[in-house]
Structure 1
Amino acid sequence: MFSLAGKKAVITGGGSGIGKAMALTFARQGAEVHILELNAEAGEQVVAEIRAAGGQAAAHGADISQQAQVVAVVNQIGPLDILINNAGIAHVGTAETTSEADFDRVYNVNVKGAYNCLHATLPQMKARGGGVIVNLASIAALVGLTDRFAYSMSKGAIFAMTLSVARDYLAHNIRCNSISPARVHTPFVDGFIAKNYAGQEQEIFDKLSRSQPIGRMGTPDEVAALALYLCSDEAGFVTGCDYPLDGGFTKLNN
């Protein structure tokens, strides 16, 4: 079950964290994995790991906020079956404290970046007769989080784009779903805590862990396993859905 043999997958932000876990998982299941990564060196390291295990992979340096770069890379890769819109950045602040520059930066990566990838890949999927898209949203799209104004805006947009694409491309055999993780323990999270809560790292890590009713953060492999299912033929009846992978955060924090 859940074989991706013969499938070509593009994963943005596949050089670390959740994206890396998905790249490794998809390659193990037989996919030819293409990583779009601003940090080209990190992408190449994941590719080397995949190839060492006998898988097929390639890395492509690209800034997903720049449509011309995305289109050029996608055209170079050729017809693809799977798109994972994973790359994203975070920001701490309210509507009052978020600067215009920071708002634009989050929007350009998280929202425009996903749009650029959709814009580039959907014509190929249509020509190929179908495909699967998984967008990484967040619990921030579903509930109110303190000091996450710009980030929540961007993930709410991802949630809405998922529904729109799923509806528009039903006749083209293209499925589109999203995953809304709660806190997932990645190097990004560790760096984010260190940058924004210097000297309080352990305290904040423990607090964020306890915010999930299940009592811990998720793991990248858990997100990758759900993405694998959604991209497999076994999920052929699933489209236009969001999956809160959240340790009970959205339903049990009462």
Structure 2
Amino acid sequence: MTRGTKLSGTTVLITGGGSGLGRRMALLAARRGARVLIWDLAADGGRNVRDEIRAGGGTAESQTVNIADQEAVKAAAAEAGPVDVLINNAGVVSGHLLLDAADEDIERTFNVNVLALYWVTRAFLPGMTSRGRGTVVTVASAAGLVGVARQTDYSASKFAAFGFNESLRAELRSGGSGVKTLVVCPYYIDTGMFDGVRTRFPLLLPILREEEVAAKILDGIEAGREKLVLPPLVNLVPAARILPVAAFDRLMDFLGINRTMDHFTGRADTQPAESGPKAE
């Protein structure tokens, strides 16, 4: 008897499911027998993944939702119905120095990466707690474990995402709800979100393949994992904070972590926000 949530026969909702890691998780969850509900700001992306799943014999629906809009989330959730697994995957990154970042980009980073966690989770958690089961997944980042140069807003938002999961887990455990949480902290993934990122030690801290990360996340859900750091070596970096600050800084310089974004050319996904859900 697994402590986690077996995906076969469940309903899995994935935010940002129309591309990148979200798409990979949607396809894999469908292959494992789940009914997949895709939320994405890009209507075409959500529809394409939905159709891809259906073409393979799976079950999927898509909704175009601006998860940063609390009222839009409530309306879409009411239309979607209850879910068994909620994967808070959607995220944006700007990759600018603090003084170079546009105000609207900073605001969007926190709206999508932090506030949306509250709006989406609050919409579906009551249904999980009433049934006494379910899993809430928060895709944070290795940047949520240690701050990185040129990612001040992104790192801060992912620290907040990690804290959101940790507090939610404590809340659910103390209340005996039966609902589980999983926080995921991957290093850079080859989704195109971090195009141009370079790693100094690719054998130790490689750019991760999205299909491998997707599989590990779904494996973690089914196994009842509560924390997943990829690659595991990244766990040692925040642990090094026990060192004096100067020594910690030298370690970060040696690993080259603060230089990974120097040639960043990725995208921040600054499309105009949709005002409400559109069922597909």
Question: TM-score, length-normalised on structure 1?
Answer: 0.85
Partner of 2:129: 126
Residues 78-227 of structure 1: pairs in structure 2 closer than 5 A:
78-170=81-173, 171-189=176-194, 193=195, 204-205=196-197, 207-208=198-199, 210-214=200-204, 216-227=206-217
Partner of 2:230: 245
Deviation at 1:250, TM superposition (A): 4.9
Question: Would you say how many aligned residue pairs link Structure 1 and Structure 2?
Answer: 234
**Larger helix percent:** 1
What residue identity is the alignment partner of 1:60? Q
**Gaps (5+ residues) in structure 2?**
238-253, 256-280
Partner of 1:197: none
Is the Cα–Cα contact under 8 Å of residues 189 and 209 in structure 2 kept in the other structure? yes
1:70 lines up with 2:73 in the alignment: yes
SS of 2:193's equivalent?
helix
Deviation at 1:142, TM superposition (A): 1.0
Q: Measure, in 2, the Cα distance between the counterparts of 1:16 and 1:187.
A: 10
Is the Cα–Cα contact under 8 Å of residues 147 and 156 in structure 2 kept in the other structure? no
Q: Measure, in 2, the Cα distance between the counterparts of 1:3 and 1:169.
A: 20
CA 1:146–1:35: 2 relative to 1, 3 Å: same
CA 1:244–1:149: 2 relative to 1, 3 Å: same
Partner of 1:12: 15
List per-residue Cα deviations over 1:198-254 (Å, max 9, x = no partner).
xxxxxx45x24x45443631111111112112221x32xx43x3x221373453775
**Gaps (5+ residues) in structure 1?**
194-203
Larger radius of gyration: 2
Task: Give the number of the structure with larger relative contact order, counting CA–CA contacts within 8 Å between residues 6 or more apart.
Answer: 2
Deviation at 1:92, TM superposition (A): 1.7
Partner of 2:275: none
What residue identity is the alignment partner of 1:246? P
Deviation at 1:5, TM superposition (A): 1.4
SS of 2:229's equivalent?
strand
Residues 3-42 of structure 1: pairs in structure 2 closer than 5 A:
3-42=6-45
Deviation at 1:134, TM superposition (A): 1.0
SS of 1:187's equivalent?
coil
